[in-house]
Structures are given as C-alpha cells and as structure tokens.
Amino acid sequence: MKQHLIILGILLPLIAGAPKPQEKASSVTTGSIVEKHGYPFEEHEVQTSDGYILGLHRIPYSSRVKSEGPRPAVFLMHGLLCSSSDWVLLGPDYALGYRLADAGYDVWMGNARGNTYSKNHATLHPLLPSFWKFDWHEIGLYDLPAMIDYVLYETGQDQVHYFGHSQGTTSFLVLNSLNKKFKNRIKSAHLLAPVAFMDNMKSPLVKLAAPFMGDPKSWLNIFGNTQFMPNTKIMELLGQSACNDEAKYQSLCANAIFLMAGYDDENMNATLLPEILATTPAGASTNQIFHYLQEYNSGKFREFDEGKLLKKPKNYPIEKIDVPIYLYYSENDYMSSEVDVEKLMRKLKPSTLRGAHKVPHPKWNHLDYLWGLNINELVHDYIMENLKEINGE
C-alpha cells in the first residue's frame, strides 16, 4: 500500500494542470543539454497559419564529423506531453538527434503548440481557454507544415526525412492523409511506436479514463479547453531528490513511468530519471488526451468528436498516403499495441509501407524508443540502414 501511495505522489504533480504564477519552468532545456555535450545548437521561431508561435530547435552539424557541402535535412517530432529534448536526453552515441548529426545530417527538432517551447500566439494568451482549443489534428494540419516548410526554406532543400514518436506519428498520418501535396516534401518517414488505431492498447490508465474522459457529451462540457501536465520546476526538483541513483524510491519513479508505457526494467536507464522529469511532461491541451481516448473507445482513426449530433467525425483516409514509410513497433508497448500497428499496416498502400521493424526484445516499451538501453542495436541501427536504402547508398 505504501508503494502505491508513493507512485500516486509522483503522478499527482504530473496531472495537476496549469502551474501557479510563482512556479517556474525547469532550468534544464534542449539547448542546455545539446551545448553541454559540445554540439552546436540553434533556436528558431515559426508561426503557424492560425497564429501559434512554435519553438524549432536545430543541431546544424556534428562537432565530431567534418562535412563539406549541404547536409540532408531531417525533422524529428516528439510525442504527447514531450518536447525536442527527448531526442537528445540519452546523450552522444545513443540519442537519435546526435546519431543523425554524426551521420552527416542537418537535424531539426519540432515542438508542438502548447508545450514548453511553444506557448506563444500572435493574439491569444495561454491563460485563455481559447489558446488551448486544439488537439493533435491541428498539430498535424498546421504545426508540421509550418515547421517543415521553414526547414526547407532555411536549408534550401526540397525534402526532409521525417522521424516521429507516438503523437509525432499520429500528427504525421493526419497531415499526409489530408494534404496530398505535402508528400513531395517528405523523402521518407520513420514512425516510432506508431499511434493511429488504439482499441487494443494495454494502458491501465487509458482503460480507466476512457469511459469518462473519452465521452464528448460529458467530460468536455464540464472542463472545456485547458492546459494538461505542464513542465514545472517542481518536477525537476522531484527528479533530483526522489529519482536519482542514491534515492531510496528510485524504482518507484520508474514504476510510475512503466504504468503508462509498459514494464521494462531491463532497458530502463534509471540514471536518466532526474533529467527525464526535468523536461517531461512538457505540457499539452486536454483535447489531445480526449482525442486519444475517443480513438480507444471508437476503434477508429478519425477526427475529434465534439459531441454534435449533426457533425459526425470523419475517418482519416490513411489509404491515400503516398510517402515512403518505415514502422518501428514492439509487443510490450502499452500505447501502441502490436495488433493496432498491424491494422495500420493493412490500411497503408503496399507501395507506401517500405518496412516494418518489430523490435527483437519482448519487453521493449513505448518510451524505450527515446531513453532505452540497447537502443542502438535494437532500433537506431535499423533506422540508419533504412536511411541508406532510401538514399540509394
């Protein structure tokens, strides 16, 4: 019972909602992480067509590798409640952001509206409910095009290689199923823990919440649009004190994460827990959560259901996607089940699906794609081979 209370104590600050005015964001940033490891770092701002101002981060080259001439651009998009820091937290030689830079790529890392680096708008303030009236549909329809077009303009290139994790895969599928013209800007897409269909997901938290929070006629009418799980200084301090290598209850910090992602003590980098909690969660809109819960309830990959009788949500026509796609999935992923990924495979055109890599480890979970031990041999080496294939090397 005591252990359950401690895990609850770790989870409660995560779901407490918007920070109070006196609360400060964590001092650990994507820029501080990258520069600590001696890599060059740039910050850019991009405004979407509906007014959101997004933080876009760049590792233009690797300080380890001399590269002449233009470097091919890659664009990395984080998952739900995450940020660009996910791609660099694991450090040089392991984090995908560094591995791609070391391989000679110009690395760009996006941040979705509402997260730590994208809380500005041309006319709306984050304290207004109207600022938070969006879900991952808008991230796919507005945020991704704005950021990718900016990358192409800045680099002078015609295409990027796209990498997405979790929600970063969902928003990619939204964009490319609804915008047929955008396919010409993507040379290849690498979807880690792809999330589209969700009716077979194993997460106990989702199963508990879906009957209530996934019902547009009840929960949405009560709570409306608001911020969910923002990044605060409290989480950084919690990670430093309760989740470091010397902490008595470090294993419980890991269990709180496993409860959401799937249990994998073999590949959990426990030493990284303070840094993870200093940067994650990075904030989102409640509607992003609600939309996923609706997907679980319906068993379909479709637009947000606002609960209006005369406006039924449309299915995303993913069978129309015409971009070279590589999928990376595992059997112990609580958020992206093997059955649901296989359903996605059947929906995609055979000519579109270039490869599907099932991680050869029975315990590999949803967050191991970002922070797991043995990530190179289990995931990243396959990514590098697929990049060589698509580049004709």
* 314: DSSP letter: P
Question: Which helix (H) or strand (E) element contains residue 228?
Answer: strand 227-228
Is 166 noted as a catalytic residue in this protein?
yes
Q: Which of 344, 343, 373 shows the shortest CA–CA distance to 359?
A: 373
Q: Which of 39, 186, 160 is nearest to 102 (CA)?
A: 39
CB within 8 Å of 319: residues ≥ 6 apart: 347, 348, 349
300 SS3 class: coil
Quickly list DSSP for 250-271.
Answer: HHHHHHHHHHHH---TTT--GG
Distance in angstroms (rounded) separating the CA atoms of residues 188 and 21: 43
Nearest to 45 by CA among 127, 95, 111: 111
Taking residue 350's Cβ as centre, other Cβ atoms within 10 Å add up to 8
Inter-CA distances, 249 with 7, 13, 233, 252, 348, Å: 9, 16, 20, 5, 44
User: Exposed/middle/buried for 79, CB within 10 Å: 0-12, 13-18, 19+?
Assistant: buried
Active site residue 330: no
Residue 379 φ then ψ, to 5°: -135, -55
Give the integer Cα–Cα distance in Å for 109 and 164.
Answer: 10
User: What sign has the CA pseudo-torsion 30, 36, 40, 42?
Assistant: positive
**306 contacts 133 by C-beta, under 8 angstroms:** no
Give the CA diameter of the chain: 60
Among 118, 166, 171, 336, the one annotated catalytic: 166
Residue in 121, 190, 357, 366 annotated catalytic:
366
Q: Give the contacts of 194 (CB within 8 A, at least 6 positions apart).
A: 169, 170, 173, 327, 328, 329, 336, 341, 344
User: Cβ neighbours of residue 73 under 8 Å, at least 6 residues apart?
Assistant: 105, 106, 108, 151, 152, 155, 157, 159, 160, 161
**Catalytic residue numbers, as ranges:** 166, 366
